[in-house]
Structure 1
């Protein structure tokens, strides 16, 4: 069956154009369709791993088969056939319920009127924020819900990206933490969609994701060059909700009397009323 699997994968990738897969076309291809390394990129696996699967020299786990099905834009019947050729059960991908902010985190978030704070869920999706966090970063309410993701904003939102004084360092840390989270739920369609989009649209993310570095950080410092408040050196720390460990409240603070402290007071209007709020 391994030769049938390889034939099926080759046929599907040759039928899918780079443009249809969301990749830029170069117009210089001798054969139609996607190259092996492009399928591997879209599936967030190494080119060597994909080549071994296609050549029948490596068996693919179910999460990898799911990723390949998404990368090759397979329909339900084609996906079932892919799993059958691989000797796997083609049960529908497991979908975790949408996250809702825990009431205790919401109350704490609302109480932090003079401290920028936001609640992150799985895949660094932004679940909630207070007005001062929006004043510091961006108006999250204007961002479509499916795009309201912290790592995505850091890489793809120019206004957010340009604020980071040490963007390379901070963005690399984001990638390392995201990869660690991906290992905890390798079947997550949301994670696969996020990684696939960022890999296609940002060469830095694509390169750093390929480094396979992992890290977890629960505190640190962000250096921002804010268009209104100027330079902000903000310490951040994480509070994990015991009721749902996949929800974390991130609070940012400034040393009392520092330029960043004055900048936050400026953004909050000095009396808790956020400018423009």
Structure 2
């Protein structure tokens, strides 16, 4: 936890387990219970965690992994808004992690990103982790909880379906790129395996597409997006391999010059997250 206790996460977990009735999750109730809802050890058992580890989560001494967060969502019967809040509280230092990841991007590419002010642009690696963004991409992606990885943005994030207007084609294109990454000898095999496992557990849509056959022909990322501050956007997606860093790709999404989308991007750049 970098020396800081995550007390907000602990308060959230305690409050939410108090709302879950034991019979709601298949637990028998014998006699009078001293606490409302679930006990700590029951949440730990339902989530597949040790009682000690879960206790440290409630005390704010641990930061859960993504897989742990998914397990806690199921154990606490969280709805979409509760799940979003759990993800937000479990990862309170996303901004700092993004800056650490940006250290893996060369200063030349970072300078290019920062100088590119008319189009959202960002850098992906083999696992679709977003290593760096320019200011316009940060504003465009401001509604996402899972903003650190494009695949999580598409398949896991509550904002994904609204943001990616062409969700089906975008999802198929992302699956194609992920398949290509797993076949490349220079890719991070362990990281990809863990990501695929996480997505398979948490997203039925990903599981179905990953298990299916790859469609023939060209599969293009969608070009229609939505941001509540500026509305609909039509953006082209251009992908440039970074030859000095194998596996890294610069993704740029310009609008047609002098179009309504170009005006909307300019407005988004001024207003930030809206």
Q: Identify the match of residue 132 of structure 2 among 123, 128, 135.
A: 128
Q: Which runs of 4+ in 1 moved over 6 A?
A: 21-24, 214-219
Pairs aligned (count): 181
SS at match of 2:209: helix
The answer to whether the Cα contact below 8 Å between 2:235 and 2:254 also exists between their aligned partners in 1 is yes
Larger Rg: 1
Matches within 5 A, 1:94-243: 100-138=104-142, 148-185=148-185, 188-213=189-214, 221-243=222-244
Aligned 8 A contact 1:121 1:127 in 2: yes
Q: Quote the residue 1:78 is aligned against.
A: none
Partner of 1:119, secondary structure, is: strand
- Whether the 8 Å contact between 2:236 and 2:255 is mirrored in structure 1 is yes
Q: RMSD between aligned alpha carbons?
A: 3.3
Measure, in 1, the Cα distance between the counterparts of 2:192 and 2:181. 9
CA distance in 2, matches of 1:206, 1:130: 31
> Which sections of structure 2, spanning at least 5 residues, go unmatched?
1-44, 50-66, 72-101
CA gap of 1:215–1:116, structure 2 versus 1, over 3 A, is farther
Distance 1:117 1:235 in 2: 11
State the match for 1:39 in structure 2.
Answer: none
Deviations 1:193-248 (A, max 9, x none): 11001001110100100014278989755201221111100001112111112111
Deviation at 1:157, TM superposition (A): 1.0
**Partner in structure 2 of residue 57 of structure 1:** none
